[in-house]
Homo-oligomer: A and B are copies of this chain.
């Protein structure tokens, strides 16, 4: 059997694509490890998905998933390891050794947190090093922690941690932080958050668990050891695209090049939507809008195929 459409990814873009594809009566399979994408990592309430004044990431995922499940979209809990196109048909190979075919594919695999690539970092994952404040903040109740990254994500992580931890350092590489004014104000009000700029990270240290992070002060050129029991990494994300190399073009940030009008990649029938693409702003409502464009474009693409 050949599906009309396989959607790779269960974040906002993939779920929106699924809703629209089903409404276009496309026989659709959605493959994902889990639902939610970046929403699942949100440590503070989401205040900017229009229609929901304030909602937790977890709740918003459930709303999207419930909406999707109203429609007959098949869901496979698996990961895609390779995509191949032969003639007009795509073959999708999964981690659990399945091979599935489709006439069109939407890649909505989102992005993974970018690691620091620092000595000691990998060793202490789950032992003090975390990429998910929403998941791990409560483990650091009463402790000192560091958040790496002075953008909005870093500040939101620090604000969320301030409910648990006694002291949070926000470490920023540049000479000033990049978070928006609102987040900076909220951070200040907590009275627990200290911002350190001009930071060049050197090493994560510990015994069984993290006990410190070493950095160089870029201005004074001296090395400083900061005692912390937790390190939250918030320096952006990298698109999850390893399985699709060869079929699509990438920009220098390894994001998939698409036509923003149709979400189609350079391979006919292969579309991409959401944070995995070149779209400059990574926001839930933008990703959902792109998933919608991709699904409607797939419907057009398949109508033309069947006519031709």
Contact = CB atoms under 8 A, between A and B. Distances in A.
A299 to B, nearest CB: 8
A261 B280 contact: yes
User: Among the interface residues A19, A51, A285, A287, which one has the most CB atoms of the partner chain B within 10 A?
Assistant: A51
Given A12-B50, A23-B180, A50-B64, A292 B288 contact: no
A283 interface: yes
B283 A285 contact: no
B51 A49 contact: yes
B51 A51 contact: yes
Contacts of A23: 47-48, 180, 182
A279 B290 CA distance: 11
Contact of A67 (B52, B67, B70): B52
B67 A53 contact: yes
B292 A286 contact: yes
Interface string A33-74: 000000000000001111111100000100110110010000
A145 to B, nearest CB: 26
A115 interface: no
A287 B293 CA distance: 11
Given A182-B25, A279-B261, A293-B281, A48 B20 contact: yes
A72 to B, nearest CB: 11
Interface string A271-284: 00000001111010
A15 interface: yes
A296 interface: yes
Contacts of A88: none
Contacts of A290: 289
A201 interface: no
Given A23-B182, A47-B23, A67-B51, A283 B279 contact: no
9 contacts: A23-B47, A47-B70, A48-B292, A50-B64, A51-B52, A52-B63, A260-B261, A261-B279, A285-B289
Interface of A: 12, 15-16, 19-20, 23-25, 47-54, 60, 63-64, 66-67, 70, 180-182, 260-262, 278-281, 283, 285-293, 296
